Amino acid sequence: MIVDSHMHLGMSAVTPCVDPSIEAVLAQMDHLGIDVSISVGGSSQIFGRPEAGFETALEAYRLSGGRILSCAYFNPHYAEEDVERARRQLEHEAFVGIKIVGSLTECYADDERWHPAWRLASEWGVPLVVHSWWVSDYNPRQRYHTPDQFERYVRAYPEVNMILGHAGGRYEGHRAAAKLARSYPNVYMDLSGDSYSFGLVEWLVEQAGADRILFGSDLFMIDARTVMGRVLDADISLEAKRLILGENAVRLFRLM
């Protein structure tokens, strides 16, 4: 079973895409043999139209015959209403996790205001997918969620499985993500994003183990074929590829 554990339904506000329709997601899934895709924040959800995002997620679930699943999205500045909406979403079988993004909300990952998201993940027994990246002068908003900042919550909620989206995003971020994963059994990383360093998949497997890494495409911001190709052709065991491409996600998101 192949699971794309990190994609986004709909057109992103920051990256162009020829066809962001649900039909196009399904066509790409069929082409690559992806059985299940998980939208970790549809574009409407994360860019300010949460109810529209809810509708899109349900439509994708219905049109795909249950193959396209979603995460509830939590914005700490609208904590009460987002917790209430997340509960409504998690009651539906289309929703299998919770997503948080520090840069879009400009709230540091170790801030008090993220507690409700972690409590929700604990209460519902679902993974918390977090955007993780590293600081740079060309993208300063990424300072809100470097992997090390999550340690406070990872320790406070050992029962919550946290997936570091993009495995830290850039070189120093990858090192910080791998270190956190080595230190805590509830920390995972996904391969989505545009970090195409040579040998990255092999390095992450060596640093943290294949059982901590998940395939994720970042579709529609990224072409899913790029990440899939890097996993399929990585110099790692067949068993490691099985874990990364599907088995880890099936276990974490309880897909079977």
- In this chain, which stretch among 81-89, 121-129, 135-143, 215-223 interacts with Zn ion, using CB under 5 A? 215-223
- In this chain, which stretch among 56-64, 95-103, 211-219, 230-238 interacts with Zn ion, using CB under 5 A? 211-219
Work out how close the CB of 43 gets to Zn ion at its nearest, in angstroms, rounded to a whole number.
10
User: Taking the CA of residue 222 as centre, how many other CA atoms within 13 Å lie in the half-sphere pointing to its CB?
Assistant: 19
Q: Measured from the CB atom, is 99 or 236 closer to Zn ion?
A: 99
Work out how close the CB of 158 gets to Zn ion at its nearest, in angstroms, rounded to a whole number.
25
- In this chain, which stretch among 30-38, 77-85, 210-218, 231-239 interacts with Zn ion, using CB under 5 A? 210-218
Q: Considering only CA atoms, which of 219, 162, 169, 160 is closest in space to residue 191?
A: 169
Q: Is 4 in the site for Zn ion (CB under 5 A)?
A: no
Work out how close the CB of 5 gets to Zn ion at its nearest, in angstroms, rounded to a whole number.
11
How many of the chain's residues bind Zn ion (CB under 5 A)?
1
- In this chain, which stretch among 143-151, 176-184, 214-222, 223-231 interacts with Zn ion, using CB under 5 A? 214-222
Q: Measured from the CB atom, is 148 or 218 closer to Zn ion?
A: 218
Q: Is 218 in the site for Zn ion (CB under 5 A)?
A: yes
- Per-residue binding letters, 165-204, with Zn ion (x by CB under 5 A): ----------------------------------------
Q: Measured from the CB atom, is 174 or 236 closer to Zn ion?
A: 174
- Return residues touching Zn ion (CB under 5 A): 218
